[in-house]
Amino acid sequence: MGFHLLSLGALLLLLTRVFESQALPFDKNYNISWGNNNVKSLNKGEEIQLSLDKNSGCGIQSKQSYGSGSFKMRIKLPSKDSAGVVTTFYLHSHTSHHDELDFEFLGNREGKPHTLQTNVFANGVGDREQRIQLWFDPTTNFHDYSILWNSHQIVFFVDEIPIRVYKNHRGIGYPSQPMQSEATIWNGETWATENGKAKINWSNSPFIAQFQGFNIEGCSSNYNLNCNSTKLWWNYEKFWKLNQDQEKSYQDIRSKNIIYDYCKDTNRFQNIPLECLK
């Protein structure tokens, strides 16, 4: 009897979550977007290696676009001296005035801290960079990087610890366009490490970033639901703000590890961006 009381949308969501709880191969949800020769599949497609050499970088992207959801990737960054090498995991709308949510790993000189940059674009407007120094070595093991996106907030997580929160306040730009999940590795030596002073040491190439976890829990055209529907778990009211434990972890990481925040950059912004005042 209870089974028949489930709506079609709720039933589809339940079945999808059961299916996606199992490890999926890369090609179930993703395609190679560029640099085919630099993409290598391992372990029956459950791991993908993206590499950068002098000739090319490469990238992957989801087959579908999503209007909300929880997007995760397990990543192991290139080892040795990776100055100038940018590894990314992000969401992108591919529209003329695009929305975008970024994890960008900026490479490092060997022995120096690893810097992670996040950014938010809404309706083509970005310039919302924040940078933290990671509290672990991201080259020795896989770590989880995820983005929770609903109509109330966007939260960037590292190993389930929130490192950035972007709230949907009236009057500010907020991502609302369907976006694809993507990952890349590319040459960013003109800007990424030490503001472009640290160039790529090509004797260490190819630079290899490893990716796992190709499940996607997002609202795509496959769901017969509005992407803001509270029938989707990431839209439940409890995900409209951080819980008490998350807030404590968030404040702790921000106080110890943040090294740049656009909200405090008065050289770039004579007037503090509106979202920073909320």
Instruction: Please tell me the pTM assigned to this model.
Output: 0.91
Determine whether 275 is an active site residue: no
Tokens of 50: 């993206």
Distances from the Cα of 111 to the Cα of 47, 189, 259, angstroms: 27, 18, 18
Which residue, among 152, 165, 147, 57, has the nearest Cα to 103 in the 3D structure?
Answer: 147
- Does residue 222 register a pLDDT over 80? no
Helical residues (DSSP H) of the chain, grouped into ranges: 2-5, 8-20, 26-29, 244-257
Note the pLDDT of residue 244. 97
- Does residue 269 register a pLDDT over 50? yes
User: Which of the following is catalytic: 100, 182, 189, 217?
Assistant: 100
Taking a C-beta distance cutoff of 8 angstroms, is the pair 177, 98 a contact? yes
Q: How confident is residue 5, by pLDDT bands cut at 50, 70 and 90? A: very low
H and E: helices and strands count for the chain: 4, 16
Give dist(CA 46, CA 234) in Å, integer: 25
State which amino acid sits at residue 99.
Answer: D
- Does residue 18 register a pLDDT over 60? no
Work out the mean pLDDT of the chain and round it to a whole number. Answer: 92
Give dist(CA 104, CA 187) in Å, integer: 12
Taking a C-beta distance cutoff of 8 angstroms, is the pair 9, 195 a contact? no
Note the pLDDT of residue 22. 63
CATH number of 26-277: 2.60.120.200
- How much is the average pLDDT of 233-245? 97
User: Which of the following is catalytic: 104, 182, 189, 275?
Assistant: 104
pLDDT digits (tens, 9 = 90+) for 73-105: 999 999 989 999 999 999 999 999 999 999 999
Q: Give 3-state DSSP helix, strand, coil % of the chain, rounded to 5.
A: 20, 35, 45
Give dist(CA 69, CA 278) in Å, integer: 24
Q: Where are the domains of the chain?
A: 26-277
